[in-house]
Chains A and B, each alone.
Chain A
Protein backbone atom coordinates (compact mmCIF):
# COMPACT_ATOMS: atom_id res chain seq x y z
CA UNK A 1 0.00 0.00 0.00
CA UNK A 2 1.60 3.28 1.04
CA UNK A 3 4.76 1.55 1.96
CA UNK A 4 7.65 1.23 -0.41
CA UNK A 5 7.51 -1.87 -2.56
CA UNK A 6 10.35 -3.43 -0.57
CA UNK A 7 8.47 -3.01 2.72
CA UNK A 8 5.16 -4.61 1.64
CA UNK A 9 4.36 -7.68 3.70
CA UNK A 10 2.41 -10.42 1.94
CA UNK A 11 -0.90 -11.66 3.41
CA UNK A 12 -1.25 -8.68 5.73
CA UNK A 13 -4.88 -7.54 6.06
CA UNK A 14 -5.88 -3.90 5.53
CA UNK A 15 -9.31 -2.84 6.74
CA UNK A 16 -10.54 -0.25 4.21
CA UNK A 17 -13.67 0.75 6.12
CA UNK A 18 -17.31 0.51 5.09
CA UNK A 19 -19.99 2.30 3.10
CA UNK A 20 -23.79 2.34 3.48
CA UNK A 21 -25.56 2.54 0.11
CA UNK A 22 -28.78 4.54 -0.26
CA UNK A 23 -31.33 4.38 -3.08
CA UNK A 24 -30.50 7.87 -4.37
CA UNK A 25 -26.83 7.17 -5.00
CA UNK A 26 -27.61 3.73 -6.49
CA UNK A 27 -29.97 5.39 -9.00
CA UNK A 28 -27.58 8.30 -9.66
CA UNK A 29 -24.69 5.95 -10.53
CA UNK A 30 -26.94 3.73 -12.65
CA UNK A 31 -28.32 6.73 -14.56
CA UNK A 32 -24.79 7.69 -15.63
CA UNK A 33 -23.13 4.31 -16.13
CA UNK A 34 -25.44 1.29 -15.88
CA UNK A 35 -29.06 2.23 -16.69
CA UNK A 36 -30.60 -1.26 -16.41
CA UNK A 37 -34.09 -1.34 -14.85
CA UNK A 38 -33.06 -3.26 -11.69
CA UNK A 39 -30.45 -0.55 -10.92
CA UNK A 40 -32.73 2.36 -11.83
CA UNK A 41 -36.40 1.81 -11.01
CA UNK A 42 -37.52 0.24 -7.69
CA UNK A 43 -40.98 -0.65 -9.09
CA UNK A 44 -39.75 -2.29 -12.29
CA UNK A 45 -36.95 -4.01 -10.32
CA UNK A 46 -39.63 -6.04 -8.44
CA UNK A 47 -40.11 -8.06 -11.66
CA UNK A 48 -36.44 -9.00 -11.79
CA UNK A 49 -35.03 -11.99 -9.92
CA UNK A 50 -33.46 -9.50 -7.49
CA UNK A 51 -37.01 -8.63 -6.34
CA UNK A 52 -36.07 -4.97 -5.87
CA UNK A 53 -33.54 -2.23 -6.55
CA UNK A 54 -29.88 -3.32 -6.43
CA UNK A 55 -26.65 -1.36 -6.95
CA UNK A 56 -24.66 -1.78 -10.17
CA UNK A 57 -21.70 -4.07 -9.49
CA UNK A 58 -19.54 -1.38 -11.05
CA UNK A 59 -20.85 1.05 -8.39
CA UNK A 60 -19.95 -1.20 -5.42
CA UNK A 61 -16.53 -1.74 -7.01
CA UNK A 62 -15.96 2.00 -7.58
CA UNK A 63 -16.82 2.67 -3.92
CA UNK A 64 -14.36 -0.10 -2.96
CA UNK A 65 -11.69 1.67 -4.98
CA UNK A 66 -12.50 4.95 -3.19
CA UNK A 67 -12.17 3.23 0.20
CA UNK A 68 -8.75 1.91 -0.88
CA UNK A 69 -7.59 5.38 -1.99
CA UNK A 70 -8.82 6.97 1.26
CA UNK A 71 -6.97 4.36 3.33
CA UNK A 72 -3.83 4.98 1.29
CA UNK A 73 -4.02 8.77 1.79
CA UNK A 74 -4.68 8.41 5.55
CA UNK A 75 -1.65 6.11 5.85
CA UNK A 76 0.48 8.62 3.89
CA UNK A 77 -0.56 11.42 6.25
CA UNK A 78 0.25 9.24 9.25
CA UNK A 79 3.73 8.40 7.91
CA UNK A 80 4.48 12.05 7.10
CA UNK A 81 3.37 13.06 10.61
CA UNK A 82 5.96 10.61 11.91
CA UNK A 83 8.59 12.27 9.71
CA UNK A 84 8.76 9.29 7.30
CA UNK A 85 8.56 9.44 3.52
CA UNK A 86 5.65 7.27 2.25
CA UNK A 87 5.98 4.96 -0.74
CA UNK A 88 4.55 5.93 -4.14
CA UNK A 89 1.70 4.07 -5.85
CA UNK A 90 1.00 4.38 -9.55
CA UNK A 91 -1.87 3.58 -11.91
CA UNK A 92 -3.16 0.03 -12.18
CA UNK A 93 -2.53 -2.11 -15.26
CA UNK A 94 -5.67 -4.15 -14.68
CA UNK A 95 -7.87 -6.60 -12.82
CA UNK A 96 -7.34 -10.34 -13.17
CA UNK A 97 -10.77 -11.33 -11.91
CA UNK A 98 -13.89 -9.84 -10.37
CA UNK A 99 -16.74 -11.95 -9.05
CA UNK A 100 -20.05 -10.40 -8.02
CA UNK A 101 -21.72 -12.56 -5.37
CA UNK A 102 -24.49 -11.05 -3.22
CA UNK A 103 -26.41 -8.01 -4.56
CA UNK A 104 -26.25 -4.67 -2.68
CA UNK A 105 -29.65 -3.21 -1.76
CA UNK A 106 -30.51 0.27 -0.41
CA UNK A 107 -29.53 0.42 3.27
CA UNK A 108 -26.87 -2.31 3.00
CA UNK A 109 -23.51 -1.59 4.63
CA UNK A 110 -20.55 -3.02 2.75
CA UNK A 111 -17.15 -3.47 4.44
CA UNK A 112 -14.01 -3.68 2.33
CA UNK A 113 -10.73 -5.49 3.02
CA UNK A 114 -7.47 -5.72 1.11
CA UNK A 115 -4.68 -8.31 1.23
CA UNK A 116 -1.48 -8.16 -0.83
CA UNK A 117 -1.12 -11.74 -2.08
CA UNK A 118 2.04 -11.39 -4.21
CA UNK A 119 4.56 -8.85 -5.56
CA UNK A 120 7.32 -8.71 -8.17
CA UNK A 121 9.41 -6.09 -10.00
CA UNK A 122 7.83 -4.83 -13.24
CA UNK A 123 9.37 -6.16 -16.47
CA UNK A 124 8.10 -3.27 -18.59
CA UNK A 125 8.58 -0.22 -16.34
CA UNK A 126 12.00 0.11 -14.67
CA UNK A 127 11.93 1.33 -11.09
CA UNK A 128 8.42 0.07 -10.40
CA UNK A 129 7.03 -3.09 -8.86
CA UNK A 130 3.70 -4.89 -9.27
CA UNK A 131 1.44 -5.67 -6.33
CA UNK A 132 -1.22 -8.36 -6.57
CA UNK A 133 -4.09 -7.40 -4.29
CA UNK A 134 -7.17 -9.37 -3.24
CA UNK A 135 -10.06 -7.07 -2.38
CA UNK A 136 -13.12 -8.51 -0.66
CA UNK A 137 -16.41 -6.77 0.10
CA UNK A 138 -18.81 -8.18 2.69
CA UNK A 139 -22.28 -6.93 3.72
CA UNK A 140 -23.70 -6.46 7.24
CA UNK A 141 -24.92 -10.08 7.25
CA UNK A 142 -21.40 -11.36 6.55
CA UNK A 143 -22.28 -12.35 2.95
CA UNK A 144 -19.57 -11.92 0.33
CA UNK A 145 -20.59 -9.09 -2.05
CA UNK A 146 -17.63 -9.36 -4.36
CA UNK A 147 -14.07 -10.57 -4.51
CA UNK A 148 -11.46 -9.12 -6.86
CA UNK A 149 -7.86 -9.82 -7.84
CA UNK A 150 -6.34 -6.43 -8.65
CA UNK A 151 -2.91 -5.46 -9.93
CA UNK A 152 -1.22 -2.20 -8.91
CA UNK A 153 2.07 -0.40 -9.53
CA UNK A 154 4.27 0.55 -6.59
CA UNK A 155 7.55 2.46 -6.80
CA UNK A 156 10.80 0.76 -5.79
CA UNK A 157 12.72 2.58 -3.07
CA UNK A 158 16.08 0.90 -3.61
CA UNK A 159 16.25 1.32 -7.37
CA UNK A 160 19.21 2.79 -9.23
CA UNK A 161 18.65 3.46 -12.90
CA UNK A 162 21.20 1.69 -15.13
CA UNK A 163 23.70 4.06 -16.83
CA UNK A 164 22.26 3.35 -20.31
CA UNK A 165 18.78 4.45 -19.22
CA UNK A 166 20.13 7.53 -17.44
CA UNK A 167 21.93 8.63 -20.61
CA UNK A 168 18.77 8.05 -22.69
CA UNK A 169 16.66 10.04 -20.24
CA UNK A 170 19.15 12.92 -20.31
CA UNK A 171 19.09 12.87 -24.14
CA UNK A 172 15.28 13.14 -24.23
CA UNK A 173 15.61 16.44 -22.37
CA UNK A 174 17.77 18.00 -25.12
CA UNK A 175 15.85 20.38 -27.45
CA UNK A 176 16.72 18.70 -30.78
CA UNK A 177 17.28 15.01 -30.00
CA UNK A 178 14.53 14.79 -27.35
CA UNK A 179 11.49 15.12 -29.65
CA UNK A 180 13.04 12.66 -32.12
CA UNK A 181 13.59 10.05 -29.41
CA UNK A 182 10.08 10.53 -28.07
CA UNK A 183 8.58 10.13 -31.54
CA UNK A 184 10.44 6.84 -31.95
CA UNK A 185 9.10 5.41 -28.71
Chain B
Protein backbone atom coordinates (compact mmCIF):
# COMPACT_ATOMS: atom_id res chain seq x y z
CA UNK B 1 0.00 0.00 0.00
CA UNK B 2 1.57 3.25 -1.10
CA UNK B 3 1.59 6.10 1.38
CA UNK B 4 0.98 9.30 -0.68
CA UNK B 5 2.63 11.45 1.98
CA UNK B 6 5.94 9.60 1.91
CA UNK B 7 6.14 7.97 -1.56
CA UNK B 8 8.61 10.51 -2.96
CA UNK B 9 10.79 10.60 0.13
CA UNK B 10 13.87 8.54 0.93
CA UNK B 11 13.04 5.05 2.18
CA UNK B 12 14.90 2.55 4.35
CA UNK B 13 16.69 1.05 1.31
CA UNK B 14 18.18 4.49 0.49
CA UNK B 15 19.99 4.87 3.82
CA UNK B 16 23.67 4.14 4.37
CA UNK B 17 25.34 3.04 7.57
CA UNK B 18 27.68 5.80 8.78
CA UNK B 19 25.82 8.56 6.94
CA UNK B 20 26.27 11.84 8.82
CA UNK B 21 23.45 14.38 9.04
CA UNK B 22 24.27 18.01 9.78
CA UNK B 23 21.69 19.34 12.26
CA UNK B 24 22.21 23.02 11.48
CA UNK B 25 21.94 25.47 14.39
CA UNK B 26 19.42 26.79 16.91
CA UNK B 27 19.84 29.89 19.08
CA UNK B 28 18.41 29.24 22.55
CA UNK B 29 16.89 32.42 23.99
CA UNK B 30 15.73 33.26 27.51
CA UNK B 31 12.11 33.37 26.27
CA UNK B 32 12.41 29.88 24.81
CA UNK B 33 13.90 28.52 28.03
CA UNK B 34 11.35 30.06 30.38
CA UNK B 35 8.31 29.26 28.21
CA UNK B 36 9.29 25.57 27.92
CA UNK B 37 10.09 25.47 31.65
CA UNK B 38 6.75 27.02 32.63
CA UNK B 39 4.91 24.31 30.73
CA UNK B 40 7.05 21.22 31.33
CA UNK B 41 9.87 21.76 33.84
CA UNK B 42 9.05 24.54 36.32
CA UNK B 43 12.10 24.14 38.56
CA UNK B 44 13.31 27.57 39.76
CA UNK B 45 16.72 26.94 38.10
CA UNK B 46 15.01 26.92 34.66
CA UNK B 47 12.81 29.97 35.37
CA UNK B 48 14.63 32.42 37.57
CA UNK B 49 18.14 33.84 37.07
CA UNK B 50 18.99 34.23 40.76
CA UNK B 51 17.82 30.70 41.63
CA UNK B 52 19.73 29.37 38.62
CA UNK B 53 22.99 31.05 39.70
CA UNK B 54 22.72 29.39 43.13
CA UNK B 55 22.05 25.93 41.61
CA UNK B 56 24.38 23.24 40.25
CA UNK B 57 23.80 24.72 36.76
CA UNK B 58 25.39 28.06 37.68
CA UNK B 59 23.02 30.16 35.54
CA UNK B 60 19.75 30.12 33.62
CA UNK B 61 19.84 26.96 31.51
CA UNK B 62 17.35 25.07 29.37
CA UNK B 63 15.52 22.02 30.64
CA UNK B 64 17.32 18.91 29.42
CA UNK B 65 14.03 17.84 27.86
CA UNK B 66 14.02 21.08 25.87
CA UNK B 67 17.58 20.50 24.67
CA UNK B 68 16.37 17.10 23.47
CA UNK B 69 13.22 18.53 21.90
CA UNK B 70 15.21 21.23 20.04
CA UNK B 71 17.67 18.58 18.82
CA UNK B 72 14.73 16.51 17.59
CA UNK B 73 13.36 19.57 15.78
CA UNK B 74 16.70 20.05 14.03
CA UNK B 75 16.66 16.36 13.03
CA UNK B 76 13.12 16.64 11.61
CA UNK B 77 14.05 19.74 9.59
CA UNK B 78 17.31 18.36 8.24
CA UNK B 79 16.44 14.68 7.80
CA UNK B 80 13.18 13.10 9.05
CA UNK B 81 10.90 15.40 7.02
CA UNK B 82 12.59 14.13 3.82
CA UNK B 83 12.39 10.51 4.92
CA UNK B 84 9.53 7.95 5.01
CA UNK B 85 9.74 8.05 8.81
CA UNK B 86 7.20 5.91 10.65
CA UNK B 87 7.85 7.27 14.14
CA UNK B 88 10.27 6.84 17.00
CA UNK B 89 10.71 3.71 19.10
CA UNK B 90 12.62 5.37 21.91
CA UNK B 91 16.21 6.08 22.84
CA UNK B 92 19.06 4.89 25.03
CA UNK B 93 22.03 6.47 26.81
CA UNK B 94 20.81 10.05 26.78
CA UNK B 95 23.41 12.17 28.58
CA UNK B 96 23.10 15.87 29.35
CA UNK B 97 26.84 16.60 29.32
CA UNK B 98 26.74 20.31 30.07
CA UNK B 99 23.93 22.83 30.48
CA UNK B 100 22.63 24.95 27.58
CA UNK B 101 22.68 28.54 28.82
CA UNK B 102 20.74 31.60 27.63
CA UNK B 103 22.23 32.84 24.34
CA UNK B 104 23.94 29.55 23.46
CA UNK B 105 23.67 28.27 19.89
CA UNK B 106 23.34 24.51 19.67
CA UNK B 107 23.95 22.32 16.65
CA UNK B 108 25.90 19.22 15.74
CA UNK B 109 25.56 15.97 13.89
CA UNK B 110 23.58 12.77 13.85
CA UNK B 111 25.18 9.58 12.52
CA UNK B 112 23.32 6.51 11.27
CA UNK B 113 24.79 3.91 13.63
CA UNK B 114 22.65 0.89 12.83
CA UNK B 115 20.25 -0.27 10.09
CA UNK B 116 18.16 -3.42 10.38
CA UNK B 117 14.83 -4.80 9.20
CA UNK B 118 12.11 -5.10 11.82
CA UNK B 119 11.55 -8.75 12.71
CA UNK B 120 7.94 -8.22 13.71
CA UNK B 121 7.00 -5.73 10.97
CA UNK B 122 8.87 -6.55 7.74
CA UNK B 123 7.43 -3.46 6.02
CA UNK B 124 9.66 -1.33 8.25
CA UNK B 125 13.32 -0.90 8.90
CA UNK B 126 14.79 0.36 12.15
CA UNK B 127 17.61 2.90 12.18
CA UNK B 128 19.65 3.87 15.21
CA UNK B 129 20.87 7.48 15.21
CA UNK B 130 23.74 8.78 17.36
CA UNK B 131 23.31 12.41 18.39
CA UNK B 132 26.32 14.62 19.06
CA UNK B 133 24.94 18.01 20.08
CA UNK B 134 27.35 20.85 20.86
CA UNK B 135 27.27 24.53 21.74
CA UNK B 136 28.94 27.41 19.86
CA UNK B 137 32.27 26.65 21.59
CA UNK B 138 32.27 23.05 20.40
CA UNK B 139 31.46 21.80 23.88
CA UNK B 140 29.28 18.71 23.91
CA UNK B 141 25.90 19.35 25.53
CA UNK B 142 23.96 16.17 24.78
CA UNK B 143 24.41 12.69 23.34
CA UNK B 144 21.88 9.91 22.81
CA UNK B 145 21.02 6.99 20.55
CA UNK B 146 17.55 7.30 19.04
CA UNK B 147 15.71 4.40 17.37
CA UNK B 148 13.34 5.34 14.55
CA UNK B 149 11.24 3.29 12.15
CA UNK B 150 11.44 3.90 8.40
CA UNK B 151 9.10 2.54 5.71
CA UNK B 152 10.70 0.21 3.18
CA UNK B 153 9.97 0.59 -0.57
CA UNK B 154 9.33 -3.11 -0.69
CA UNK B 155 6.70 -2.76 2.05
CA UNK B 156 5.07 0.12 0.20
CA UNK B 157 4.62 -2.00 -2.94
CA UNK B 158 3.43 -5.19 -1.19
Inter-subunit contact A97/B90 (CB<8 Å): yes
A-B Cβ contacts below 8 A, count: 104
By the criterion CB–CB under 8 Å, are B85 and A91 in contact?
no
Q: Which residue of B55, B80, B85, B92 is within 8 Å of A96 (Cβ)?
A: B92
Check: A75 CB closer than 8 A to any chain B CB.
no
Q: Please report the C-alpha to C-alpha distance between residue A167 and residue B40 in the assembled complex, in whole angstroms.
A: 39
Q: Are A47 and B90 in contact (CB under 8 A)?
A: no
- Pick from B64, B69, B86: contact of A91, CB below 8 A: B64
Number of B residues with CB within 8 Å of any CB on chain A: 39
**Residue interface bits B66-109, CB-to-A below 8 A is 1, else 0:** 00111011001100110001111111111110010000000000
Interface: A78 (CB within 8 A) = no
Query: Would you give the shortest CB distance from A77 to chain B, in whole angstroms?
Result: 14
The secondary structure that dominates the B interface is: mixed
B8 interface hit (Cβ, 8 Å): no
What class of interface size applies to chain A in its complex with B?
35 or more
Query: Which of A32, A92, A99, A125 is within 8 Å of B96, CB to CB?
Result: A92
| Min CB–CB distance A157 → chain B (angstroms) | 17
Min CB distance B149 to A, Å, is: 9
Chain B residues near A125: list those with CB within 8 A: 56
A121 in the interface (beta carbon within 8 A): no
Q: Cβ of A58 < 8 Å from any Cβ of B?
A: yes
Q: Which 6 interchain pairs have the tightest Cβ spacing?
A: A33-B69, A95-B94, A94-B95, A99-B90, A62-B40, A98-B90
Contacts A36-B80, A58-B65 aside, 19 further interface pairs with beta carbons under 8 A come to A34-B73, A35-B73, A36-B81, A38-B87, A57-B87, A57-B90, A61-B65, A65-B40, A66-B40, A69-B42, A73-B42, A91-B56, A91-B64, A93-B95, A94-B94, A96-B92, A96-B93, A98-B91, A153-B56
Interface residues of chain A, those whose CB is within 8 Å of chain B, are 32-38, 44, 47-50, 54, 56-58, 61-63, 65-66, 69, 73, 90-100, 103, 125, 128, 146, 153
